[in-house]
Structure 1
Amino acid sequence: MKVICAGMSKTGTKSMQAALKELGYNVYDFMENFEYLHDDWVKILAEGGSTEDFRRMYENVDAVTDIPGNIFWDEIHKAFPEAKIVLTIRDEDKWIDSVENQYSKANKPIFFVLTFFSPTFKKLGRFGDKLACAIFGSASKASLFKAPTINSLLYKMKFRRHNAHVLQNAPKDKLLVFSVSEGWEPLCNFLGTPIPSTSFPRKNVRENRPELVKEYMANNPTFIRAQREMKISFALFVGLLGFGIYKLSRTTPTTWMDTIGGALASLRS
């Protein structure tokens, strides 16, 4: 582990992931933590973890961004004391506005269909809920017809406390306080890497968030597997539904109504 990005989500973490990848680092963001370290994180969230656990989890990883690594930055740094720490910052009002906007877009019908028909996507949702409870004390409740809401006051308090904790406890000689709007120069000077000739990446910002979702759906292994599971499960569902309708059509109304009535009676008893 060479770089620990301790900034809260929505402070440019996806841009940081892209930037570090461009600099040649092997980066674990939220999805990589889910895909490769899910069981480790579930254990840590339920029972706690040791320095040895974090050293084993990240021994072949160069950098970590976004949740859950940013929240556990200090524990990861204990396992890799030579790693550098980047605290990405953002104006608080703009930050909470971005958080609320992202939640408001979370009730897309495709996500509910995936959750219903894909075990993998349901597992991903449970993982996100566990992290939300650990970080903010509660998980938002999504609905197909109503966007999830958050406690903005609580979120802003957590945001301030997290940043204060990093500023107070991170070794000053290993800490960079950084805004992605500053571009390559301060980051590369801090990391000791050449400055790329390309523009600094801008990922998961409001205007290009739909493109990021499309990119995940097309290229991310978890989303690809979830879509495949959805197609199989939906096909089975339609097949069973069709078979059930066929069987009902072959019986008299009295027979299938008696069957339904008997099933309801058994449930009441």
Structure 2
Amino acid sequence: MLLGKHETFQTRSSNMKVISAGFPKTGTKTMTVALKTLGFNVYDYMENSTILGKDWEKIFKAGGTTEDFRRMYENVDAVSDVPPCYFWEELHKAFPDAKIILTTRDEDSWFKSLVTQMRSVESSWTLKLMSLLTPSGYLSFNILSDHCVGRVIFGLRDSLFWKPFRRVTLNELLLKLKFRKHNSHVIQNAPPEKLLVYNYRQGWEPLCKFLGVPVPDVPFPHKNKGANLVDEYLATDPIMIKIEKELMLSLATILVLCCIGGYCLFSWGPTNIWNFLCSAVEASWNKLV
């Protein structure tokens, strides 16, 4: 049975149905779009880091329980990318009926794509400013992406956003070992009847058969070609667009404050401003003592 071009398979249960356990750069963005096309409500990285950012921060720092994962995703059909792919086993304990998809690709092309992606993130001043000047960006990029995902999942010691004078060191051997260990762990520990090892080049047929849904009458998607995720997200992702608006507001506020400061400096002179600040500090100190 084929779905019409603008139709989707509508899921009904509130329990999670799909855990995409593939490591980043194995077609996770393509899988997200494919699952959305099939009618699933999907949480990818941006949804996880902004909507559930505080929960994930707590899990990385102090741990989490099965009840935590069940509460976080009680109304979500599917998850993809980090952090969920790394915690696929804990998610499956919370939702034992969910099916698991391990997206894969050959190791060398995976590493090449990962490096391209990380260099793109590392060189983006828009993301740097978002991570510093917006509440959502600070949580998503600074705390989770840098301090949690980067260090725990990939083993990076340096910051992707604020590494002065030189680029982040990407150890090819260690990163490939993490990739192999993750894939092997999923294959060895996921229930065989609930696991699909999948390459996006296989298209709709094996994916839809595994999920028990009709094949849609649309071409299979291919997202994040050439690891150009940053530009694509900035242009199209609604959460990123929201963070961009936060950044514009922050920059406008800084500009207004600088103008006020410049006007005061010009009108009062640096000596009078200094005397005013000293008097204010002295008055505050006298109140304290």
TM category (shorter chain) comes to 0.7 to 0.9
The 1:208–1:225 alpha-carbon spacing in structure 2 relative to 1, beyond 3 Å, is closer
> Per-residue deviation at 1:172?
0.8
Aligned match of 1:174: 194
Question: Residue 150 of structure 1 corresponds to which residue in structure 2?
Answer: 170
Does residue 237 (structure 1) correspond to residue 254 (structure 2)? The answer is: yes
SS for the counterpart of 1:176 is: strand
Q: Please point out which of 84, 96, 121 is paired with 1:81.
A: 96
- The answer for the alignment partner of 1:117 in structure 2 is 133
Q: Hey, what's the Cα distance between the residues in 1 that align with 2:158 and 2:249?
A: 29
Q: How many residues are treated as equivalent by the alignment?
A: 256
The more displaced of 50-59 and 139-148 is: 139-148
Counterpart Cα distance in 2 of 1:207 and 1:128: 17
Query: Quick one: distance in 2 between partners of 1:211 and 1:233?
Result: 21
CA shift in 2, pair 1:209/1:29, >3 Å: closer
CA distance in 2, matches of 1:158, 1:58: 26
CA RMSD of aligned residues (A): 2.3
Stretch moving more, 32-41 or 69-78: 32-41
Task: Determine if contact 2:20/2:103 at 8 Å carries over to the other structure.
Answer: yes
| 1:78 Cα deviation from its structure 2 partner | 1.1
Whole-Å separation in 1 of the counterparts to 2:204 and 2:68: 33
1:220-259 paired onto structure 2 within 5 Å = 220-221=238-239, 223-251=240-268, 255=271
Q: What is the identity, as a one-letter code, of the residue corresponding to 1:156?
A: K
More displaced 10-residue stretch of structure 1: 139-148 or 107-116:
139-148
Give the superposition deviation at 1:136: 2.1
Q: Identify which of 138, 163, 170 aligns with 2:156.
A: 138
Unaligned runs of 5+ in 2: 1-15, 279-289
Structure 1: unaligned runs, 5 residues or longer = 263-269
Give SS of 1:4's match: strand
Query: Can you list the C-alpha shifts for 1:20-77, whole angstroms capped at 9, x where unaligned?
Result: 1111111111111123222221111111111122122222111111111111111111
Kindly state the Cα deviation for residue 179 of structure 1 after the two structures are TM-superposed.
Answer: 0.3
Alignment match, 1:265:
none
Shift of 1:145: 6.9
Task: Name 1:62's counterpart in structure 2.
Answer: 77
Which of 89, 106, 117 matches 1:102? 117
Residue 19 of structure 2 contacts residue 79 of structure 2 at CA under 8 Å; is this kept in 1?
yes
Match of 2:206 in 1: 186
Matching residue of 2:50: 35
| Higher mean C-alpha deviation, range 57-66 or range 130-139 | 130-139
Preserved contact between residue 103 and residue 147 of structure 1 (Cα < 8 Å): no
Task: Give the TM-score, by structure 1 length.
Answer: 0.86
Q: CA deviation at 1:119?
A: 2.5
Write out the 4+ residue segments of structure 1 that deviate beyond 4 Å after TM superposition.
143-147, 256-259
Distance 1:192 1:35, change over 3 A: same
Q: Return the alpha-carbon distance in structure 2 between the equivalents of residues 144 and 158 of structure 1.
A: 26
Counterpart pick for 1:200 among 213, 220, 225: 220
TM-score, with length taken from structure 2? 0.81
CA distance in 1: counterparts of 2:241 and 2:60, whole angstroms: 27
Q: 1:105 to 1:79 in 2, by over 3 A?
A: same
Deviation at 1:194, TM superposition (A): 1.1
- Kept in 1, the 8 Å contact 2:116–2:227? The answer is no
Query: 2: distance between equivalents of 1:233 and 1:191?
Result: 44
